[in-house]
Amino acid sequence: MISASKLNNTGFKWVLIGFIFTLLWSSASTATKIGLKVAQPLTIALMRFLIASVCMLIYAHIIRGYPLPGAREWKKITIYGIFNITIYLGLYVLAMKDVTAGIGALAIATSPIFIGLLSVIVLKQIPPAKVIAALLLGLLGVVVAAWPLLHGTGVSVKGLVILLIGMLSYSLASIYFNKTDWQGLKILTINGWQTLIGGMLLLPFLCMTYHKEANHFTADFWISSGWLAIFVSIAAIQCWLWLLKSAPIKAGMWLYLCPIFGFIIAAVFMDDPLSLYTLTGVVMVLLALVMVRGKRPRQKAELQQKQAELTHTQQSLSE
């Protein structure tokens, strides 16, 4: 029999790793905003992707000895990288110039709602009223939280639109991942190569828009890029996968805390305002997530788990 002390230790470890995941994942928006003070968006994005992909590929192929993708898998990885990195994270980092860190974190939290809606559409089914209501409630929650900032310099309509288009691409990437036969490739291999390829496809856009005087490779730049690469793209993802493996059903609860932690971190480090609008918007998004992630049949729960793994296996999670 398992001793009570061992059960307690396991429970403590699960809670500890859950909090670490939530803190790291929620910090992505604030880390991006710090980098944007000294560099252009795509400069930060390219450095993040380069650091993260090199670390993952060295570990996957040199340390663990995983095989390289086969000829058929390169095309799949490239398509996935375009949706998941080039479009989604490219738009995300651009949008963060025009929204606050807290709003960025809240918008990212709506991804399960988009995934739920698009999954139904891909199956050529009429979206259930509950899913449509959840999507509308989640989007309204983001608008409510951003409303008092739209009249100043913190948030622009353009930034919100770019964020939501990025979330749509993120959701399409999730569905593509789940419908693709990866021929037994390890997730770390897929993630490493899609991050590198997707990031390199942003290079032409960086070259066309690069302004030397706008990029200062100061401590803030390296802290931002390094944090996003090591602690968000790699460490947070490993925590998430461990949570899914240990308790796949309960792991989703940590996602609900991400927008809350995101606003707190943004308030502490970026002086983002917290108001009744903020609280109302967060509550609306959380209610929308509950509506989408309610009790489901076993088959649907398994699909939802795969979608959650993908949503946070990049980030090339996030954010």
What mean pLDDT comes out for the span 94-101? Answer: 91
Q: What is the dihedral of CA 12, 18, 102, 121, to 10 degrees?
A: -150
What's the confidence (pLDDT) of residue 224?
96
In a domain, 216, yes or no: yes
Q: Which domain holds residue 175?
A: 36-311
Residue with tokens 């036969």: 181
In a domain, 287, yes or no: yes
What's the confidence (pLDDT) of residue 315?
40
In a domain, 13, yes or no: no
Q: What whole-number percentage of the chain has pLDDT above 70?
A: 86
CA distance 189 to 113: 27
What's the confidence (pLDDT) of residue 9?
61
* The pair of three-digit structure tokens given for residue 273, joined into one six-digit string: 């305002």
In a domain, 26, yes or no: no
Q: Look up the pTM and report it.
A: 0.81
In a domain, 169, yes or no: yes
**Phi, psi (rounded to 5 degrees) for 140:** -65, -35
Least confident of 220-229, 260-269, 273-282, 293-302: 293-302
What's the confidence (pLDDT) of residue 43?
96
Confidence of residue 306 (pLDDT cuts 50, 70, 90): low
Residue 72, judged by CB atoms within 10 A of its CB (0-12, 13-18, 19+), counts as exposed
CA distance 303 to 20: 25
Confidence of residue 299 (pLDDT cuts 50, 70, 90): very low
* The pair of three-digit structure tokens given for residue 172, joined into one six-digit string: 């399409």
In a domain, 152, yes or no: yes
Least confident of 36-50, 86-100, 236-250, 260-274: 236-250
* The pair of three-digit structure tokens given for residue 120, joined into one six-digit string: 């139904």
| Exposed e or buried b per residue across 253-285, where buried means at least 16 C-beta atoms within 10 angstroms of its C-beta | ebbbbbbbbbbbbbbeebebbeeebbeebbebb
Contact indicator for 236, 21 with CB cutoff of 8 Å: yes
What's the confidence (pLDDT) of residue 37?
94
pLDDT(301) > 70: no
What mean pLDDT comes out for the span 143-148? Answer: 87
Residue 8, judged by CB atoms within 10 A of its CB (0-12, 13-18, 19+), counts as exposed
What's the confidence (pLDDT) of residue 319?
44
In a domain, 19, yes or no: no
In a domain, 115, yes or no: yes
What mean pLDDT comes out for the span 257-268? Answer: 88
Contact indicator for 20, 239 with CB cutoff of 8 Å: yes
What's the confidence (pLDDT) of residue 200?
96
| Exposed e or buried b per residue across 132-169, where buried means at least 16 C-beta atoms within 10 angstroms of its C-beta | eebbebbbebbbbbbeebeeeebbbeebbebbbebbbb
Total domain count, the chain: 1
